[in-house]
């Protein structure tokens, strides 16, 4: 996992906070954080006493996985990808997805617990991808990145923590999109807002 603090210029960061953290920004309810923790068709293979799957609210700015979709806010978010390329010297081929996740405080969530570990690419298709997570506001509920990787389509039975990042305003982290990772709910803050960038390399 790589970390870039003070990722966005202050003026751009402030603009995104004013838009996304406002009272009139459109969020859409999802009953699962990873789409695997509540999967009734294919039961997840990972068994871990620290997993606690919760719900979240999502806003898709853009998704391009066969059919293209973008929201009214996509043009405001697009410069994040250009800044990512400049600051990391990673030249992506294609933007696959950009979305924001809002997780609320959960009184039953305990320190050290995390949502269901998942990857941002569902199967190894031979291409390279990178995931970047941008923390819009200060919160708690760290992101966990695990040793396990989905390459060769092997689903692990358990996971082992490799890295952990605290939710610090204007911080961006990035890692291999085949890497298992998990969010966690805030305990001391009312909400946690993360912008997820997925790119093909």
The pLDDT score that the predictor gives to residue 44 is 62
Alpha helices by DSSP H, the chain: 10-20, 74-77, 79-88
102-150, pLDDT tens digit by residue?
999 988 999 999 999 999 998 888 899 999 999 999 999 999 999 999 9
The pLDDT score that the predictor gives to residue 41 is 44
How far, in Å, CA of 11 to CA of 138, rounded?
17
The pLDDT score that the predictor gives to residue 21 is 96
Helix (H) or strand (E) holding 99: strand 94-104
167-185, pLDDT tens digit by residue?
999 999 999 999 999 999 9
DSSP per position, 134-187? EE-S-----EEEEEEE-GGGPPPSS--EEEEE---TTEEEEEETTEEEE----S
35-77, pLDDT tens digit by residue?
554 444 455 678 899 999 899 999 999 999 888 999 999 999 9
């Amino acid at each position: 996992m790589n970390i870039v603090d003070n990722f966005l210029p202050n003026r751009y960061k402030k603009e995104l906070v004013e838009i996304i953290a406002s009272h009139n920004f459109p969020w859409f309810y999802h009953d699962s954080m990873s789409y695997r923790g509540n999967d009734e068709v294919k039961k997840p293979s990972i068994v871990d006493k620290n997993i606690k799957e919760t719900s979240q609210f999502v806003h898709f700015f853009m998704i391009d996985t066969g059919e293209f979709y973008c929201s009214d806010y996509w043009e405001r978010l697009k410069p994040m990808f250009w800044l990512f390329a400049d600051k990391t010297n990673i030249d992506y081929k294609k933007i696959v997805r950009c979305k924001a996740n809002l997780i609320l405080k959960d009184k039953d969530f305990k320190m050290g617990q995390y949502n269901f570990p998942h990857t941002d690419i569902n199967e190894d298709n031979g291409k390279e991808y990178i995931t970047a997570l941008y923390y819009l506001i200060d919160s708690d509920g760290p992101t966990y990145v695990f040793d396990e990787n989905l390459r060769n389509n092997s689903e692990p039975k358990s996971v082992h923590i490799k890295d952990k990042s605290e939710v610090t305003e204007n911080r961006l982290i990035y890692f291999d999109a085949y890497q298992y990772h998990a969010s966690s709910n805030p305990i001391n803050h009312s909400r946690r807002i993360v912008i997820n960038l997925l790119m093909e390399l």
